[in-house]
């Protein structure tokens, strides 16, 4: 990994979850989807309960720690493929960044109107 890549990743990992979460929800709601649907995706991907998610949003949790401490990352998350920001998620070498991009990809799919069953790889 290049030094610039590493420092970019660290900036993302250090971002407060409480700042990133509204951006994810806003992306979905601008396209007619709901916060509840965004939360369902987050819970599916990470294994957090709704209560745990809400508690983490009240604490100074970093985005990196949110994913590092995910209680039960869904085994089907590795089925998530496609590009986010011009990069194929399945080709991202940095494991933590891949987890973050999985969520970005799922929220993109939600905003594009994809059915929840397909988004959650059911």
pLDDT for res 85: 83
pLDDT at 64 (0 to 100): 97
Number of structural domains in the chain = 1
* Rounded mean pLDDT, 25-32: 96
Helix or strand or coil: residue 11?
helix
| Residue-by-residue DSSP string for 32-66 | T--HHHHHHHHHHHH---HHHHHHHHHTT-BHHHH
Domain residues for the domain of 83 are 3-119
2-25: pLDDT as tens digits: 556 667 899 999 999 999 999 999
Residue 62's φ and ψ, nearest 5 degrees, are -80, 155
CATH code assigned at 41: 1.10.8.290
- Would you say 62 and 19 are in contact if contact means Cβ atoms under 8 Å apart? no
121 CA to centre of own chain: 15
pLDDT digits (tens, 9 = 90+) for 35-94: 999 999 999 999 999 999 999 999 999 999 999 999 999 999 999 999 988 889 999 999
Q: Tell me, what's the pLDDT at 12?
A: 94
CA distances from 33 to 107, 110, 116, 117 (A): 10, 7, 11, 14
CA–CA distance, 67 with 106 (Å, rounded to integer): 15
pLDDT of residue 42: 98
Cα 103 vs. chain centroid, distance in angstroms? 2
């Amino acid at each position: 990994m290049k030094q610039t890549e590493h420092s970019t990743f660290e900036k993302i990992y250090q971002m407060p979850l409480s700042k990133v979460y509204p951006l994810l929800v806003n992306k979905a709601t601008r396209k007619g989807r709901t916060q509840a649907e965004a939360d369902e995706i987050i819970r599916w991907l990470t294994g957090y309960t709704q209560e745990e998610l809400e508690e983490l949003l009240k604490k100074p949790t970093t985005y990196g720690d949110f994913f590092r401490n995910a209680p039960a990352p869904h085994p089907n998350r590795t089925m998530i493929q496609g590009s986010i920001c011009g990069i194929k998620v399945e080709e991202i070498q940095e494991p933590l960044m891949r987890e973050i991009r999985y969520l970005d990809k799922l929220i993109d799919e939600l905003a594009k109107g994809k059915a929840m069953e397909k988004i959650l790889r059911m």
